[in-house]
Chain A
Amino acid sequence: MANENPLTELSNAMADAVEKGGTVTVLVNARRRMPASGIVYSSDMILTADHVVEREDDIRLTLPDGETVTAAVAGRDPGNDLALLRLSGASLTAAATAPQPARIGQLALALGRPDSAGIQASLGVVSAAGGPVRTGRGGLLENYLRTDTIPYPGFSGGPLIDTEGRVLGLNTSGLARGVSLTIPAGSAWQVAEILAKHGRVRRGFLGVRSQPVPISATQQEALGRDQESGLLLVGIERGEPAEQAGLLVGDILVAVAGQPVGDADELLSRLVGSIVGQPTPVQILRGGQPTLITVTIGERR
C-alpha cells in the first residue's frame, strides 16, 4: 500500500503515533467517578494528574496490554497537579519525551485511556504557550501549553504527543477551573524526578505580605545591577520566618539566595526545593541601602 496519496500517509503516521503513545498511556482508577489516564514515567512509575487521585488506597491501573494492577502513591504535588504512582512487580517501557519543546502551530494528539475499550485520541495543534501562572492550588506553574484538542472525560493525566508518538506534555483540566492545560514534558518530568526522590515538592514561605514597587535609578546603582522592581513588604506575619529574622514593614525585598526577585511570582519560584528549611540570605533595601538578612525559609504545609 506504499505510495498512496499524501493524506493516507499522514493518516497512517498519526495512527502510528497514537499506537506508540498508547503503549505508554494507562488507565488510572483512583476516584469515584470515571477513571482518568496516566503516563508511564519509568519501568515501575506512572505520572498522572494529582486531582484524579482522590484516594490513596485501592488505586488500580489498567496497563496498555489490558492487565489490571494495583499501585501506591509515590509522591504528590497538588501545586502543579502532578502525582507519581508506583506499581509493584511491573516492568514497563518508559515514555519517550520529545527532544524539543512544543512549537505553536505544530500538530499534537491528546491521548487518554478512560475505559477498557482501548486508547482514545483527539487531534489539534499547539495553540499557545504561557506561564508562569499561579494555579489556585498554591503552586506556580512555570509554563504551560494550550491546544485545541478535545479534552474528553478521563483524559486528565494522559499525554499530549507529537506525530512521532513522543510526549510533549501531560494534559490536565485540574489546574485552571476545568480549562484543559498541558504541563510541558520538561517541567512535568522535573517535578516527577523530585517526587520520585522526596515524595513531595517542598514549597517555602517567608510570612510576608508584599506588593511590587519600582526601584529608582539611584537604588539600582546602589544594588550594582539593573533591576526595575522589588517587593515592598506591607505586612509581616507574627512568629513566622520573616519576623524571626528581623524583616520590617517598609523593607523592599530584592533578592533571595542571590537571585533577583521583582514580583510575587518570582518570589514563589525562588522558594521551591532544597532552599526550604535552610538559612538563606535575603537582600533588601532598607532606607535605600542594600542590606543582607539571613532568613530560615519555612515550609508551606
Chain B
Amino acid sequence: MTALFKRTSILDEAFASVVQEVQRSLVVIQSGRFGAGAGVIWQSNGLILTNFHVVAHGHVRVIFADGREFAARQVLHEPGLDLALLQIDATGLPAASSADSRLLRVGQLVMALGHPWGQRGMVTTGIISGLGSVQTNEGRTIDIIRSDVSLAPGNSGGPLIDASGAVIGINTMVVGGDLGVAIPSHVIAGFTDQILAPHSFRRADSHAIV
C-alpha cells in the first residue's frame, strides 16, 4: 500500500466528497410518535427505501436534510427482510447509486449513514467483517452483510455504502447479534423487483479525484 497515496490528505478529501454526495440521498423517516429512523432515496421519482420496523407504526413522514417534509405511503413491504418501499409525491430527487452486493469482499471499506440517537446525518466507518446468512423468523435463509461499523438506533433503514459511495445494503437492527448487520443490495433488488423493473446497479463515477 506504500505507493498508493502520495498524501494522506487525499484520503480525507475522498472521504468527505463521497459522504457529501451520499448524504443528499439520506432522509429521516418518522412513523407515528416513535423515534426517527433513516431511509435512502432509491429512485428519483419519489421511491424511498427503509426498514419495515421503522415504518411499522403508520403515519409515515419523510424529512429531507433541507427540512422539506413529505407524507409517505407504503407501496411494498416484507417484514422477514425488514424492508419497506415508500412513495412520496416528489420527482427529480437525488437517488443514491448502488452496487451489486454479490461482488463484495471481506475487508472492503464501508460507511454507514443514518441518525443514531437522533444525531442527523451521522457517518460511521469500518469494513465488511463477514458475508454470511441468517434465518428469518419465517425460517427463510437470507444473505446478510456483517460490518464492524458502529450502529445505533436511528441507523435503522439507512444505507451502508462502499468506497465509491454506492449503496451496498440497508442497515438493520432487527437481525444479528453483536455485529452491525445490513440487508445486501442484491436482496433489496429481489424485493423491489416485485413491483419495479429489474433493478440495475449503477455506480457513480463522479468521485474520481484528479
Contact check, B209 vs A18: say whether CB atoms are below 8 A apart. Answer: no
Chain A residues in 8 Å Cβ range of B15: 7
A122 at the interface (CB under 8 A from B): yes
A123 at the interface (CB under 8 A from B): yes
Contact check, A8 vs B164: say whether CB atoms are below 8 A apart. Answer: yes
Contact check, B208 vs A122: say whether CB atoms are below 8 A apart. Answer: no
Chain A residues in 8 Å Cβ range of B17: 5
Select one of B127, B132, B163 contacting A7, CB under 8 A.
B163
Select from chain B the residue with minimum beta-carbon distance to A18.
B107
Which residues in window 1-19 of A have CB below 8 A to B?
3-19
Contact check, B163 vs A8: say whether CB atoms are below 8 A apart. Answer: yes
Select one of A5, A10, A121 contacting B128, CB under 8 A.
A121
Select from chain B the residue with minimum beta-carbon distance to A16.
B107
In the docked arrangement, what's the CA distance between A163 and B4, Å? Answer: 12
Chain B residues in 8 Å Cβ range of A18: 105-107, 127
Select one of A5, A120, A152, A163 contacting B106, CB under 8 A.
A120
Which residues in window 159-178 of A have CB below 8 A to B?
163-164
Which residues in window 140-164 of A have CB below 8 A to B?
149-150, 152-153, 163-164
B135 at the interface (CB under 8 A from A): no
Contact check, A15 vs B129: say whether CB atoms are below 8 A apart. Answer: no
Q: From residue B159, how far is it (CB to closest CB) to chain A in Å?
A: 16
Select one of B11, B107, B132 contacting A117, CB under 8 A.
B132
Chain B residues in 8 Å Cβ range of A121: 106-107, 127-130, 148
In the docked arrangement, what's the CA distance between A189 and B178, Å? Answer: 32
Binary interface encoding of chain A residues 3-43 relative to chain B, with 1 for a CB under 8 A from any of its CBs, else 0: 11111111111111111001000000000000000000000
Contact check, A118 vs B178: say whether CB atoms are below 8 A apart. Answer: no
A109 at the interface (CB under 8 A from B): yes
Contact check, A6 vs B129: say whether CB atoms are below 8 A apart. Answer: no
Known: A19-B107, A119-B106. A11 touches B163 (CB 8 A): yes
In the docked arrangement, what's the CA distance between A19 and B128, Å? Answer: 12
Contact check, B106 vs A6: say whether CB atoms are below 8 A apart. Answer: no
Which residues in window 1-22 of B have CB below 8 A to A?
1, 4-5, 10-11, 14-15, 17-18
Chain A residues in 8 Å Cβ range of B11: 6-7, 10
Select from chain B the residue with minimum beta-carbon distance to A163.
B1
In the docked arrangement, what's the CA distance between A8 and B164, Å? Answer: 6
Which residues in window 93-109 of B have CB below 8 A to A?
105-109
In the docked arrangement, what's the CA distance between A163 and B107, Å? Answer: 10
In the docked arrangement, what's the CA distance between A8 and B163, Å? Answer: 5
Interface size on B, residues (CB 8 A): 32
Contact check, A7 vs B1: say whether CB atoms are below 8 A apart. Answer: no
Contact check, B18 vs A5: say whether CB atoms are below 8 A apart. Answer: yes
Chain A residues in 8 Å Cβ range of B4: 6, 9-10, 13
B146 at the interface (CB under 8 A from A): yes
In the docked arrangement, what's the CA distance between A111 and B117, Å? Answer: 30
Which of A12, A109, A120, A164 has the largest number of chain B CB atoms within 10 A?
A: A120
B179 at the interface (CB under 8 A from A): yes
Which residues in window 183-210 of B have CB below 8 A to A?
207-209
Chain A residues in 8 Å Cβ range of B108: 11-12, 14-15
Select from chain A the residue with minimum beta-carbon distance to B18.
A7
Contact check, B130 vs A5: say whether CB atoms are below 8 A apart. Answer: no
Contact check, A120 vs B127: say whether CB atoms are below 8 A apart. Answer: no
Q: From residue A162, how far is it (CB to closest CB) to chain B in Å?
A: 9
Known: A3-B208, A7-B14, A117-B131. A122 touches B148 (CB 8 A): yes
Known: A118-B131, A122-B148. A6 touches B209 (CB 8 A): yes
Contact check, A117 vs B1: say whether CB atoms are below 8 A apart. Answer: no
Contact check, B164 vs A152: say whether CB atoms are below 8 A apart. Answer: no
Chain A residues in 8 Å Cβ range of B58: none
Chain A residues in 8 Å Cβ range of B82: none
Contact check, B14 vs A118: say whether CB atoms are below 8 A apart. Answer: no
Known: A10-B4, A13-B1. A5 touches B109 (CB 8 A): no
Contact check, A122 vs B129: say whether CB atoms are below 8 A apart. Answer: yes
Contact check, A6 vs B178: say whether CB atoms are below 8 A apart. Answer: no
Which of B17, B108, B178, B209 has the largest number of chain A CB atoms within 10 A?
A: B108
B residues with a Cβ closer than 8 A to A are 1, 4-5, 10-11, 14-15, 17-18, 105-109, 126-133, 146, 148, 162-164, 178-179, 207-209
With A5-B207, A117-B132, A164-B1 given, name 13 new contacts (CB 8 A).
Answer: A3-B208, A7-B11, A7-B14, A7-B18, A14-B108, A15-B106, A15-B107, A18-B107, A19-B107, A115-B132, A123-B127, A123-B148, A152-B129
